[in-house]
């Protein structure tokens, strides 16, 4: 008699917020897939819907609440997790029919809630989980989370209250995950955390055995090991560092970029440059030394791209403070910049600071900083016209009326989702997502490059 296998319940997922939340979603889905659940791409086909929320800003909370409301309206069976899970009373007040609510990176609690809402179908007839786990990103790049939480107490941030203090993963576990991802087709590893530079501080950089030797849980050691991995074709993956605080030992990873272990890219959240504002933010305030270090980094790795984010309109920010920031940006010449208008967050210390900046002044400063940084970006990209650079392919376009095909990729100066693109013309039919090719740059605008495969 043929074995009858009961149809597996299906789970839908709405993932909001930062890449760290995306990694949480991938881990949850990987565990559920291993438990026999199917995945639904829409509300109609899901037995239960997970909404992984963001709770960093009030605007993000409202977006999360809207997503929960949509899931309830379209499906009705909803489990909430993520950063806003810490505000269960707020969620329940608006949506009393939510099945369960859990906080950030509470993987076991989420899975248990799904088991209760839609009991799994057990069976060992099919390998349900691909090598490297389930991913919500394209096959050729992967986020690699190395720690949870943060030990900082920045005045504008509530991340420590949402995700707790720094908790670093064992370095052998991180490297094992990276090795599996690369073996499964990952060409680019994006290292993420709340504070990548602090990796291993909480464990006193405890060493672990890895491939016959001891390796410390330290950003520099981790970067070197990740850069030593190889794809099945024998190619080193791009390794990109995100959320790097400019501690002194960051200087030690720059030579690794020059030596090819790391992609020459640093994502450093400077947040501001004016000493008065940095002090109010409870951030490191030695901005002059930072400029000196940036010059030194560029002397070691000339192609290094530095991305950062800045807050304008922080309480007490004066016209002079903002001009100081603009002048600092002129000197720093950062490659990629994101700017945000200050927004009060419930529970943040900054809410109690005096001298709030009027909304119209925030907007005017936001427009000025975006204009300034766009001009810097345009000049830096224009300097790349005529160069030959490596580009990773993200997407192949459809053929136009002449039969020619274009493609979209990224240079080593471009992280997915947040930075620019390289648009290619007349690519070969054999080109595919994940290929890394040499490109002759023909043109540029404020944020993107244009070229042809060499």
The pLDDT, as a whole number, for residue 282 is 83
The alpha-carbon radius of gyration of the chain (Å, integer) is 23
Residue 51 exposure: Cα atoms within 13 Å on the Cβ side: 30
Tokens 């993420």 belong to which residue?
A: 192
The CATH architecture that domain 388-453 belongs to is Beta Barrel (2.40)
> Percentages helix, strand, coil for the chain, rounded to the nearest 5?
35, 20, 45
Nearest alpha carbon to residue 317 among 259, 369, 268: 369
141-382 domain in CATH 3.80.30.20?
Answer: yes
The pLDDT, as a whole number, for residue 398 is 86
18 known member of a binding site: yes
The pLDDT, as a whole number, for residue 126 is 42
Rounded Cα–Cα distance for residues 172 and 210 (Å): 6
83 known member of a binding site: yes
154 known member of a binding site: yes
DSSP 254: H
All residues at 6 or more sequence positions from 150 whose CB lies less than 8 Å from its CB, including other chains: 157, 159, 160, 163, 165, 166, 194, 195, 198
The pLDDT, as a whole number, for residue 148 is 87
Instruction: Determine whether 63 is exposed, middle or buried from the number of CB atoms within 10 Å of its CB (0-12, 13-18, 19+).
Output: middle
Give me 11's structure tokens.
Answer: 């789970």
150 known member of a binding site: yes
Query: Per-10-residue mean pLDDT for the chain, 454 residues long?
Result: 64 87 86 87 93 84 92 94 87 92 80 86 50 71 91 70 82 92 93 93 92 93 95 92 92 95 95 91 73 95 96 94 96 95 79 88 96 96 97 91 90 94 94 95 96 95
Give me 278's structure tokens.
Answer: 């940095």
User: Per-domain residue ranges for the chain?
Assistant: 10-117, 141-382, 388-453
Virtual torsion, Cα 209, 211, 215, 220, nearest 10 deg: -150
The pLDDT, as a whole number, for residue 1 is 45
> What are the residues facing 24 on neighbouring strands?
none
Please tell me the pTM assigned to this model.
0.75
User: Is 130 in contact with 60 (CB distance < 8 Å)?
Assistant: no
The pLDDT, as a whole number, for residue 192 is 93
The pLDDT, as a whole number, for residue 60 is 84
The pLDDT, as a whole number, for residue 204 is 94
Choosing among 3.40.50.720, 3.40.50.1100, 3.40.50.12160, 3.40.50.300, the CATH entry for 10-117 is: 3.40.50.12160
H-helix or E-strand spanning residue 190:
strand 188-192
The DSSP line for 200-231 is TGGGTT--EEETTEEE-SSHHHHHHHHHT---
| Ranges assigned E (strand) in 297-412 | 305-312, 336-341, 388-396, 407-411
157 known member of a binding site: yes
The pLDDT, as a whole number, for residue 281 is 87
């Amino acid at each position: 008699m043929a074995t009858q296998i009961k149809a597996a319940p299906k789970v839908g997922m709405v993932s909001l917020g930062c890449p760290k939340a995306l990694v949480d979603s991938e881990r949850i889905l990987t565990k559920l897939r291993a438990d026999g659940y199917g995945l639904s791409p829409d509300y109609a086909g899901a037995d239960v819907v997970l909404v992984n929320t963001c709770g960093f800003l009030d605007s993000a909370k409202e977006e999360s609440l809207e997503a929960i409301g949509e899931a309830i309206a379209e499906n009705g069976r909803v489990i909430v997790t993520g950063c806003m899970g810490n505000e269960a009373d707020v969620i329940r007040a608006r949506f009393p029919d939510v099945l369960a609510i859990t906080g950030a990176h509470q993987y076991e609690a989420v899975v248990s809630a799904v088991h209760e809402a839609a009991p799994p179908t057990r069976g060992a007839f099919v390998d349900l989980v691909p090598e490297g786990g389930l991913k919500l990103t394209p096959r050729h790049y992967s986020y690699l989370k190395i720690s949870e939480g943060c030990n900082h107490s920045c005045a504008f941030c509530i991340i420590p209250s949402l995700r707790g203090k720094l908790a670093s993963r064992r370095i052998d576990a991180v490297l094992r995950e990276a090795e599996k991802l690369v073996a499964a087709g990952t060409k680019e590893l994006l290292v993420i955390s709340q504070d990548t530079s602090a990796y291993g501080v909480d464990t006193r950089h405890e060493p672990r055995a890895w491939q016959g030797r001891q390796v410390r849980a330290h950003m520099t050691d981790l970067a070197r090991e990740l850069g030593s991995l190889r794809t099945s074709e024998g190619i080193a993956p791009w390794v990109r560092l995100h959320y790097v605080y400019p501690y002194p030992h960051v200087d030690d990873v720059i030579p690794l970029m020059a030596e090819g272990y790391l992609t020459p890219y640093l994502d450093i959240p400077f947040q501001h440059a004016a000493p008065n504002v940095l002090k109010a933010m409870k951030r490191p305030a030695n901005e002059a030394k930072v400029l000196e270090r940036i010059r030194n980094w560029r002397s070691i790795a000339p192609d290094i791209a530095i991305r950062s984010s800045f807050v304008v309109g922080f309480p007490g920010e004066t016209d002079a403070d903002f001009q100081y920031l603009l002048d600092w940006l002129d000197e720093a010449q950062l490659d990629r910049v994101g700017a945000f208008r200050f927004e009060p967050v419930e529970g943040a210390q900054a809410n109690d600071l005096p001298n709030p900046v009027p909304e119209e002044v925030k907007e005017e400063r936001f427009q000025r900083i975006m204009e300034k940084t766009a001009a810097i970006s345009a000049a830096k990209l224009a300097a790349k016209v005529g160069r030959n650079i490596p580009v990773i392919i993200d997407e192949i376009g459809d053929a136009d009326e002449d039969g020619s095909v274009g493609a979209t990729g990224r240079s080593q100066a471009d992280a997915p989702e947040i930075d620019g693109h390289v648009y290619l013309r007349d690519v070969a039919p054999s080109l595919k997502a994940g290929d890394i090719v040499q490109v002759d740059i023909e043109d540029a605008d404020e944020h993107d490059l244009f070229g042809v495969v060499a």
